[in-house]
Structure 1
């Protein structure tokens, strides 16, 4: 993970979002060796940044050995990028129980609001509110769980720190395991779902108000409630 720190040395928040996105896609294995990245103009439009900013981000990925740029052909992913995915697979190969996951989340996720209130953009908050709307409109547990996961992922991306993005990706891998799903189905009643939705709204509102302390306390309380509902006590 040490190699990723310099990738965030970019001038605009949109460029940081682009860097975070590329790193996350490589880590998940969605950007693999030989794949061609979208054109610079398309990346600029997607993340709301100038082509100059896109070029600076891509230049840093080139310097790190993750991509190569061929004049007239485009930008391609190099084999080194697959090492990120393999390292995640090695970590994921060690079974993590839902109980262990919740202990780790209680320690790590409350650290994010401090960075979010400093770095989050209007696009970040727009995505958070979209996740809220979609989760509240969900008609099944699986759909609700998907948008719940997307919201917490949105928190990680809004830190604009690739370390938290990668940690959240590992978290979601554990959430995809059967044991987590079984516990969630048992614990997710209409009442608990309503509690989660209210807590989610309160957390996002506090982040939007740039109130890091309140958001941290609300997020910690939310995770504690999940832990109690999953395991009792």
Structure 2
């Protein structure tokens, strides 16, 4: 394969665009890119940083680089028309089922990815930034089930979250106090999963989702 920074960037972008690199997939090491394209590690890092800024990949310190589950590229999913209220009803039925599989199947990488999403959400300075990493965290839960159906379901629900009506409701309801409450709830869910406590993590997930529902709709 031809070398050089341009060839590397074009190759990696094409892999992401085509969907050949699936959501959550781990990318090869920086060293392997250097050897394959005859480029320096600094060059590799600059290209990866550019793709990370575009939201195409997620870099997890000490673990590696992964295809972002929020990537705008990859196989298209048909637009789903549903209301935020219907979305929350579905989430309350579906997401509390995930802890049983996470507790059984999650590995060290899965927990590292959750931790990275948590840290980003805790440092978020805007509603949009928090919403992005909130979605990424829930995707990381789905990924940790190691069940492709859950991942596809979460991809669909996050497509609905990207629509204007959800964003408007979230903007109106998300006060700084509520954002911090969500952060604490996320952290508690993560710790229960890390401890392989299925019942506790399920209960915390339900409390979290019901709190979102109440804050959005007053129900």
TM-score by length of 2: 0.68
Contact 2:18/2:75 (8 A) holds in 1: no
| 1:113 has 2:127 as partner | no
1:37 is displaced (CA, Å) by 6.1
Taking the aligned partners of 2:107 and 2:174, their CA distance within structure 1 comes to 32
Cα RMSD after superposing both structures: 2.3
Instruction: Provide the residue aligned with 2:53 in structure 1.
Output: none
Taking the aligned partners of 1:189 and 1:143, their CA distance within structure 2 comes to 14
Q: Which has the higher contact order (CA 8 A, sep 6+)?
A: 1
1:31 is displaced (CA, Å) by 2.8
Instruction: Provide the residue aligned with 1:211 in structure 2.
Output: 197
1:109–1:37: structure 2 CA closer, same or farther, 3 Å change rule? closer
- Three-state SS of the structure 1 residue aligned to 2:18 is coil
- Three-state SS of the structure 2 residue aligned to 1:113 is helix
| 1:196 has 2:182 as partner | yes
Report matched runs for 1:64-75 at 5 Å. Answer: none
More helix by share: 1
Instruction: Provide the residue aligned with 1:57 in structure 2.
Output: none
Taking the aligned partners of 1:152 and 1:30, their CA distance within structure 2 comes to 23
| 1:174 has 2:148 as partner | no
Taking the aligned partners of 2:84 and 2:96, their CA distance within structure 1 comes to 18
| 1:230 has 2:216 as partner | yes
1:131–1:179: structure 2 CA closer, same or farther, 3 Å change rule? same
Q: Structure 2: any 5+ residue segments left out of the alignment?
A: 1-14, 31-73
Q: Structure 1: any 5+ residue segments left out of the alignment?
A: 1-25, 47-83
1:122 is displaced (CA, Å) by 0.5
Report matched runs for 1:92-171 at 5 Å. Answer: 92-93=79-80, 95-171=81-157
Instruction: Provide the residue aligned with 2:18 in structure 1.
Output: 31
Contact 2:117/2:133 (8 A) holds in 1: yes
